[in-house]
Amino acid sequence: MTFSARSLMIAATAAIALSGPLAAVTPAAAQTKLKVVLNWKYQGPQGMFFLADDRGYFKAEGIEVQLDQGNGSGGVPALVANGTYDVGFGDLNALIELAARKPEDAPVAVYVMYNQPPFTIAVKADGPIKTAKDLEGKSIGGPANDGALKLFPAFCKIAKIDCTTVKLSNMQPNLRENMLMQGQVDGVFGYVNTIRFSAKLAKIDEKQIRYIKYSDFGMDLYSNAIIVSKKMAKEKPEVVKGFLRALNKGMQDSIKDPTASVASVAKREPLIKLDIERERFDATFADEMNHPEIKKIGLGSIDEARLKKSIDILVDANKLPRVPAVGEVWNGSFLPPVAELPTKLF
| % of the chain residues with pLDDT over 90 | 90
User: What is the spatial distance between Cα 151 and Cα 320, in angstroms, rounded to a whole number?
Assistant: 12
Instruction: Kindly report, residue by residue over 273-307, the tens digit of the pLDDT.
Output: 999 999 999 999 999 999 999 999 999 999 999 99
Whether 330 shows a pLDDT value over 90: the answer reads yes
Cβ-based burial of 238 (10 A; exposed 0-12, middle 13-18, buried ≥19): exposed
CB-based contact 230:108 (threshold 8 Å): yes
Average pLDDT, the chain: 92
Counting residues of the chain whose pLDDT is more than 70, the rounded percentage is 92
**pTM for this prediction:** 0.88
pLDDT (tens digit per residue) in 221-254: 999 999 999 999 999 999 999 999 999 999 999 9
Which amino acid would we find at residue 116? Q
**pLDDT (average), residues 164-178:** 95
Q: What is the DSSP string of 179-217?
A: HHHTTSSSEEEEEHHHHHHHHHHTT--GGGEEEEEGGGG
**Distance separating alpha carbons of residues 126 and 227, to the nearest angstrom:** 40
What is the Cα–Cα distance from 44 to 309, expressed in whole angstroms? 31
Q: Which residues of the chain are in CATH 3.40.190.10 domains?
A: 31-116+222-340, 119-217
Neighbours of 125 (CB within 10 A): 14
Distances (CA, A) of 337 to 73, 334, 346: 27, 9, 21
SS3 content of the chain, % helix, strand, coil (to 5): 55, 15, 30
What letters, b where the CB count within 10 A reaches 16 and e where it falls short, cover 51-63? bbbbbebbeebeb
Distance CA 253, CA 258 (A): 8
Residue range 84-136, pLDDT digits in tens: 999 999 999 999 999 999 999 999 999 999 999 999 999 999 999 999 999 99
Alpha carbons 219 and 222: distance in angstroms, whole number:
9
- Rounded Cα distance between 127 and 196, Å, is 17
Q: Residues with Cβ < 8 Å from 256, sequence gap 6 or more? A: none
At residue 49 the predicted structure's pLDDT band, cuts being 50, 70 and 90, is very high
Q: Is the pLDDT of residue 257 over 60?
A: yes
pLDDT at 107: 98
Q: Residue 167 — φ and ψ, nearest 5°? A: -90, 120
Q: Is the pLDDT of residue 25 over 70?
A: no
pLDDT for 30: 72
What pLDDT shows up at residue 4? Answer: 38
Identify whether the C-beta of residue 336 lies closer than 8 Å to the C-beta of residue 248: yes
pLDDT for res 15: 35
Quote the pLDDT of residue 24: 38
Comparing 1 with 110, the larger pLDDT belongs to 110
> How far is it, in rounded angstroms, from Cα 60 to Cα 64?
9
18 pLDDT more than 70 = no
Instruction: Report residue 14's pLDDT band, with 50, 70 and 90 as the boundaries.
Output: very low
The CATH number of domain 31-116+222-340 is 3.40.190.10: yes
Q: Is the pLDDT of residue 60 over 90?
A: yes
Q: 119-217 adopts what CATH topology? A: D-Maltodextrin-Binding Protein; domain 2 (3.40.190)
